[in-house]
Structure 1
Amino acid sequence: MSDLVLFGQQAKAASQKLALLDTTHKNQLLEKMADAIEKNSQLILNANAKDLAKAKENGITDALLDRLRLTKERVIEMAEGMRQVATLPDPIGEVEKMWKNADGLMIGQQRVPLGVIGIIYESRPNVTTDAASLCFKTGNAVILRGGKEAIHSNQQLVKILQETLEANHFDSFAIQLIADPSYEVANEFMRLNDYLDVLIPRGGAGLIRRVKESATVPVIETGTGNNHIYIDEDIDLQMALDITFNAKVQRPSVCNAVETILVHEAVAPVFLSELEKLLVPEGVQLFADKQAKAYLKSAELATELDWETEYLDLMLAIKVVHSLDEAMEHIRHYGTKHSEAIVTNNYFATQRFLNEVDAAAVYVNASTRFTDGFMFGFGAEIGISTQKLHARGPMGLNELTSTKYIVYGNGQVRK
């Protein structure tokens, strides 16, 4: 028997216990796990320091190091995220609707756990606690497979969570971590059909593509974020600058950061000149088409690759467009259906953009950085789904459930 089969068996058994755990006990255990994360923050930071040192040896970029790095504040945020999940309404057991059919049967639709969830992810250790807390709250056992970059951090985090469950007399196999980072083990994990009910990849385009191509278990696809902001001809200039600056600079290494700015030709001279003054001192590299480059002193000429790239770094592609239609056509061609935004004072432009742009989150006069389960009020998130089946956008508690029909009769037989 392989280690993964054992993991699967243990997770399946734990999921059956967890599905029966009432909301009060789930919340109490989440609170205790959060307390343990905070109490053991130094152990977590020590483990993270090992990961950071190895990453620096391997020449990982500053932006990717930021995704990996934990600080005292970030560990506290992880614990707070778990506590927030504990305060959220529990969807499990909720009967969303009930009706009587022609035969007098009372038919209801009730939310239930998915069962055992597998998650493959890269770099960010906070995914470990986010995923564990959301799965636990929804009665799902979880098997985590993080990237080799964060292996020490993830092992320490899961060790703390498992020890807390054991100390409180609950099955620690509800949360498990695959420590082997090899592709062979990952491929076996993707085919664990007898035990995994769903697999969720969270990471870059390469990881997601490999999971889609290799997995035989059902997959909920989380997408890359080649996100755009369209600056319309009718704008509040300062608002447009503030939104663009925030979407690119506040945290460039995450999937909801903006990667391309589309600027209407009527406002391009003023807007781009002012934008460059804001971005260049922050170290942002600009890649512009020929028309945009004429208004920018520091920009390099953009190539086709720039329109396609999710930089996850202090880099920004800029294109001047002649109309809203041209902007939306560019988004249709290059967008990854993650987050798209328009900045405008024109009501009709906002309505067209909202109706015609196909993405998990579409914004009017706001930064794309808000595409996040925490910011949407879901507590933590399992990822941003860019597909359309079952779940789309930030995946919170409801997206980690399924439903079953419950039917009450009083002796009915079908004629």
Structure 2
Amino acid sequence: MLDSAVKNQALLAMAAALEAKTPKILQANFLDRQRARQNKLSAALLDRLTLNEKRVQAMAEGLRALTKLPDPNNRVLEKIRRPNGLRIEKISVPLGVIATIYEARPNVTADAAGLCFKAGSASLLRGGSDAAESNKIIAATLRQALQARGLPPDIIQNIESADRHAVGELLNLREYIDLLIPRGGAGLIQKVVRESSIPVIETGTGNCHVYVDESARLKKALNIALNAKLSRPSVCNAAETLLVHEKIAAKFLPQILQAYQKAGVKIHGCVKTRKYNPAVLPATPEDYAREYLDLEIAVKVVADIDEALEHIYRYGTKHSEAIVTENKQNAEKFLQKVDAAAALVNASTRFVDGGEFGFGCEIGISTQKLHARGPMGLRELMSYKYFVHGKGQIRK
């Protein structure tokens, strides 16, 4: 196992290498984007695919942030002393080999590789073909930085084959891979969960809601609802549905609908919502179930917090849910009752992110309940073992 100082110096070297190679990374990304436009990739996926200097810098800063976090390896998580004199310690250990399958998001290449490295695991990366050139140069840059530090570059491996059958083969390498993390749309995640013989952590699909309660302050609610949808519509923590208490609808809906319309958002709404803006399209159950990942949103007027919670339970994906309220009882009720990895009070769903949570970068946002939930940082990429110390005890 590598010393923490060695890992941190390697992470700094990887960050510096990304910055030095920025022109070549952007050139490769330009080629990916050209091909993506020819293949008529959606605007949302094109945004996820796109790199610029700021986004490359963010990847580098994510790696640097990892060096400031405690090493998660070999930590004593718990101590137990039994009546028979046995001393038992629960110790954190690396998972081993972590494979990540992801779509058109080249930043995941750096995030996943850096997190796995700091956590003491090897990373096997299989990005989408739309980002092939970007993934290739990012992975090569990180590997070169490791090699320059005298470390084995194969700690990070990028699968360059575009053959779809390669994914099928990867899903059954249980003998060699300890954990598989899919990042992308619902189709990719469901395929991996259904077909993999390797343990899987489900991540990503985010039909996130913002519920504006009766007591909400209008300006605060407006800012949160706009930010949750508009700051970056193509990511999984963007809001896809707005729920509004019927007693505040007449004051709030005309403002928010007009603001969405001005920003170019396509709006699907219930009968009550459509009364406040003629441009709102009729909403169907399918509209409330969709993860738009684009300038599109569903809106519904609800009778109270209970109806809001029922709607979220029916259509949500257990990702991130927000309430805007000045009522402490309703805030607490929402936190306790909503079924999601992250519940927010008076804050945008866009904050549900590894960097914003102080985890450095993240390998994904888990929407399941076993092992890890929410943004997955270093601690979520660890397993543990028990050290048992005795003095000759035998079991009777």
State the TM-score bracket (shorter-chain normalisation).
Answer: over 0.9
Partner of residue 64, structure 2: 83
> 3-state SS of the aligned residue for 2:262?
helix
> 3-state SS of the aligned residue for 1:350?
helix
- Find 1:216's aligned residue among 158, 172, 197: 197
Partner of residue 117, structure 1: 98
1:72-95 Cα distance to aligned partner (Å, 9 max, x none): 111111101000011111110101
- Find 1:143's aligned residue among 114, 124, 128: 124
Partner of residue 293, structure 1: 274
> Is 1:93 matched up with 2:74?
yes
Partner of residue 401, structure 1: 382
- Find 1:307's aligned residue among 288, 300, 317: 288
Contact 1:223 1:336 in 2 (8 A): no
Stretch of structure 1 that moved more, 95-104 or 352-361 = 95-104
1:135-214 aligned within 5 A: 135-214=116-195
1:7-406 aligned within 5 A: 20-406=1-387
Aligned-residue offset at 1:413? 2.2
Structure 2 stretches of 5 or more lacking a match? none
Percent identical pairs in the alignment equals: 52
1:219-254 Cα distance to aligned partner (Å, 9 max, x none): 111140001111111110000000000000000000
Tell me the matched-pair count: 396
Aligned-residue offset at 1:115? 0.2
Stretch of structure 1 that moved more, 58-67 or 396-405 = 58-67
Distance in 2 separating the partners of 1:317 and 1:395:
28
* 1:200 alignment partner AA: I
> 3-state SS of the aligned residue for 1:380?
coil
> 3-state SS of the aligned residue for 1:387?
coil
> 3-state SS of the aligned residue for 2:267?
strand
TM-score (norm 2): 0.99
Deviant stretches of 4+, over 3 Å:
none
Aligned-residue offset at 1:181? 2.5
Aligned-residue offset at 1:168? 1.6
Structure 1 stretches of 5 or more lacking a match? 1-19
Aligned-residue offset at 1:350? 0.8
1:146-170 Cα distance to aligned partner (Å, 9 max, x none): 0011000000001111111112211
* 1:278 alignment partner AA: A
1:303-351 Cα distance to aligned partner (Å, 9 max, x none): 1210110000000100111111111100000000000111111111111
Distance in 2 separating the partners of 1:309 and 1:199:
25
> 3-state SS of the aligned residue for 1:275?
helix
TM-score (norm 1): 0.94
> 3-state SS of the aligned residue for 2:391?
coil
Contact 1:146 1:181 in 2 (8 A): no
* 1:33 alignment partner AA: M
Aligned-residue offset at 1:191? 0.4
Distance in 2 separating the partners of 1:291 and 1:73:
42
> 3-state SS of the aligned residue for 2:272?
helix
Distance in 1 separating the partners of 2:181 and 2:378:
14
Contact 1:145 1:181 in 2 (8 A): no
* 2:12 alignment partner AA: E
